[in-house]
Amino acid sequence: MAQITLGTLIRKKLFAPLAHRLVLALETPILIEDLAGEPLIATDGAIEGVRYPVIVQGDTIGWVQGNEKAELLASLLAYHSEREVERKNLGSETLHKYKEITLLYDMADKIPACMERSEIIAILTEQIRQAIRFSGLSVILLDKESGKLEVAASLGNEYALGTVIEPVGIMASVWASGKGEIINDVHADQRFVQRPYRVSSLMCAPLKSKESTVGIIEISSAEPTVYAAEDLKLFSTLASQAAVQMENSVLYLELKNAFYTMVYTLAETIEKRDPYTGNHTKRVMEYSLAVGRTIGMSEDELIRLELAAVLHDIGKIGVRDSVLLKQGKLTDDEFHQIMQHPELGGQILSRIPQLQDIIPGVVQHHERFDGKGYPEGMAGEQINLAARIIAIADTFDAMTTDRPYRRGFSFEEAFEEVRRNSGTQFDPKIVDAFFETDVMEAFFRASANLKLRAAPR
Ligand SMILES: [Fe+2]
């Protein structure tokens, strides 16, 4: 079933007057009907001749009746309907991806905090220290991949971080039962296994969230101590809270990775359309990040720069293949269409609330330092910093890439060209930073991993 009706096409605001003028220009009686036989356009006078079907993707979506000119008109309508379906499909495919991205980011946003495991353990230790007396503390966590228990924190005892241990004695019982225990006189407990450090009393609890047990925590005292049931209750509650936070942080990282993967997939859809760009996005990203590090950008600024660099040409999704992939000289109109891509990119990203910060980097990447760029003709430091960096990275890569109709510049020639355009096309400060940057290292990094992929953060 074709995803368009002839009525939808004919009633389109831009197409309707054209269709009516076309029918009049044919100077012959014509009747255009939808699939059900409802007239859409009819000239005066008796309509005779053949009823030609308008066929789109193998389905008839309407009819044109008249002489041989009607057959021509039916083909033309079919052609336009096909284009309309293609345009719609491209739009809905892209929209679908935005929706997925927004959903992923929203979910990640709802998880309150993304803390490193070590931060969570540090907070837990401090909370316990404030409430309960102990001289030794160990946190053992389950490594999901290996299924083994590893030492994640160790205070006042001899466990080395990262040591894989097999739970024995009391720890093994707690791990197996999932219930916390107090042993006030360890030497009287048959399960106790001698330790290389002094221990008289201990408390051990599972790090248990609703879903699963992620590890065990144990505190011990070298001197005989009486731990009470309330101590165990508090200790177990704090341990459970930490376990939930640990699970959340894993989930958060997974979502964040999924988000990055989606963003990169979106960028790859552009690359796939133009096979000659061969990994352009990845190189622009690596060059931009390398320059960003040279000028001392913060981690947050680097993340935004990376996303802007990856998505800088996303607006090309709205430029037709016949223009985007044209190998010869572009007409003024075609050039005008290409020049729309930074703003189109901005419009696309404006639908993703979490990507608002990177829009200036995308929209302004074809602005020039001397104000002769597009779309706004902004100048100097008025232009977003990420956009000024991406401008150099993008141009440098375009110059050094072979195209079917011309050989790319050597790196030396391209460096010379960047230098020559300092202060006109490019920000001289960023040009200086570019020359201080190890561009070749960034190039090899981009080449080493040809597929764009999410960088876990
Ligand atoms: Fe561009």
- HEC-encoded secondary structure of 369-422: CCCCCCCCCCCHHHCCHHHHHHHHHHHHHHHHCCECCECCCCHHHHHHHHHHCE
What angle do the packed helices 299-310 and 385-400 form, to 10 degrees? 50
Q: Give me ligand 1 centre to Cα 377, in Å.
A: 15
For residue 456, is pLDDT > 50? no
427-433 long-range contacts (CB < 8 A, ≥24 apart) are 427/369, 427/380, 427/381, 427/383, 427/388, 428/369, 429/295, 430/291, 430/295, 430/388, 430/389, 430/392, 431/392, 433/291, 433/294, 433/295
How much of the chain exceeds pLDDT 90, in percent? 35
**Average pLDDT for 283-297:** 95
Q: For 9-36, what is the mean pLDDT?
A: 84
Domain residues of the chain, as ranges?
A: 6-109, 117-251, 274-448
- The domain 117-251 belongs to what CATH superfamily? GAF domain (3.30.450.40)
79's tokens = 């052609």
Residue 415 CA, ligand 1 centroid: distance in Å: 20
Mean pLDDT over 136-161 rounds to 86
Q: How remote is the CA of residue 384 from the centroid of ligand 1, in Å?
A: 15
User: Strand 148-155 relative to strand 31-34: parallel, antiparallel, unpaired?
Assistant: unpaired
- Angle, helices 332-339 vs 341-349, to 10°: value is 30
Asked whether the CA dihedral 361, 365, 370, 371 is positive or negative, the reply is negative
For the cut 80, the answer to whether the pLDDT of residue 134 exceeds it is yes
Distance 341 CA to ligand 1 centre (A): 7
Q: How far does the centroid of ligand 1 lie from the alpha carbon of residue 358, in Å? A: 15
Q: Give the pLDDT score at 93.
A: 61
Give the pLDDT score at 415. 94
pLDDT value of position 12:
80
pLDDT at 416: 95
Q: Average pLDDT for residues 338-353, to the nearest whole number?
A: 87
Higher pLDDT, 88 or 192: 192
Cα 87-323-325 angle, rounded to 5 deg: 100
Q: How far is the CA of 26 from the centre of ligand 1 (A)?
A: 43
| 389 touches 291 (CB < 8 A) | yes
d(CA 198, CA 201): 10
Spatial strand order of the sheet with 39-42 comes to 39-42, 31-34, 59-66, 50-56
Residue 285: pLDDT over 90: yes
Per DSSP, the three-state class of 44 is coil
The pLDDT, as a whole number, for residue 102 is 61
pLDDT at res. 106: 57
Give residue 86 CA to ligand 1 midpoint distance, Å: 23
CATH superfamily of 274-448: Hypothetical protein af1432 (1.10.3210.10)
What does the buried/exposed string (b/e) look like for 334-345 if buried means 16 or more CB atoms within 10 Å of the residue's CB? beebbebbbbbb
CA of 366 from ligand 1 middle (Å) equals 6
More confident residue, 77 or 293: 293
Distance 124 CA to ligand 1 centre (A): 49
Structure tokens at 81: 């309907």
pLDDT: which is higher, 213 or 106: 213
In this model, does residue 457 exceed pLDDT 60?
no
Residue pair 353/104 in contact by the 8 Å Cβ criterion = no
Q: What is the mean pLDDT of the chain?
A: 85
Residue 150 — φ and ψ, nearest 5°?
A: -125, 150
Residue 382 has pLDDT above 70, yes or no: yes
pLDDT at 450 over 60: no
Task: Give distance in angstroms: CA of 177 to centre of ligand 1.
Answer: 60
Give the mean pLDDT of 205-223.
89
Closest to 121 measured CA to CA, from 249, 211, 231, 228:
249
Rounded to the nearest angstrom, the distance between the alpha carbon of 390 and the centre of ligand 1 is: 9
Q: Which of 93-107, 138-152, 295-309, 392-406 has the lowest mean pLDDT?
A: 93-107
Least confident of 117-121, 337-341, 434-438: 117-121
Residues of the chain with pLDDT > 70, as a percent, come to 90
Starting at the earlier edge strand, list the strands of the sheet with 148-155.
164-165, 148-155, 136-143, 213-221, 201-208, 181-183
Is the pLDDT reported for residue 431 higher than 90? yes
> How far, in Å, from the CA of 281 to the mean position of ligand 1?
10
* 342 CA to centre of ligand 1 in angstroms: 6
At 104 the pLDDT is 56
Ligand 1: centre distance to CA 57 (Å) = 33
Look at residues 365, 315, 367, 320 and name the one whose alpha carbon lies nearest to residue 345.
Answer: 315
Burial of 16 (0-12, 13-18, 19+ CB in 10 A): middle
Q: Please count the residues of the chain.
A: 457
Report residue 162 as tokens: 């990262």
pLDDT at 442: 87
Burial letters 224-243, b for 16+ CB under 10 A, else e = ebebeeebbebbbebbbbbb
* Phi, psi torsion values for 183, nearest 5 degrees: -125, 100
Compare 127 and 290 and report the one with higher pLDDT. 290
Residue 379 has what pLDDT?
A: 96
Mean pLDDT of 265-269: 78
pLDDT of 453 > 50? The answer is no
* Strand (E) or helix (H) holding 86: helix 68-110
Sign of the C-alpha dihedral, residues 174, 178, 183, 188?
negative
